[in-house]
């Protein structure tokens, strides 16, 4: 795949993971949800930077 398509797929997967975790586990807990979302983004960014570089 070309690089822009691969980045778009990564962003879509990231959004799907965040929404899924929010709906399944942290519906009414704002701070826990925020912390977990930040953690997911950081881990996902680390993997994307590692494997897309």
Residue-by-residue pLDDT tens, the chain, 53 positions? 687 888 888 889 999 999 999 889 888 889 999 999 999 999 988 988 888 77
pLDDT of residue 37: 92
32 Cβ partners below 8 Å, 6+ apart? 26
What is the C-alpha separation between 4 and 8, in angstroms, rounded?
6
**pTM above threshold 0.95:** no
């Amino acid at each position: 795949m070309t690089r822009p398509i691969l980045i778009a797929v990564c962003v879509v997967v990231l959004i799907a993971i965040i929404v899924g975790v929010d709906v399944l586990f942290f519906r009414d807990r704002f701070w826990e949800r925020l912390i977990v979302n930040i953690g997911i983004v950081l881990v996902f960014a680390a993997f994307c930077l590692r494997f897309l570089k």
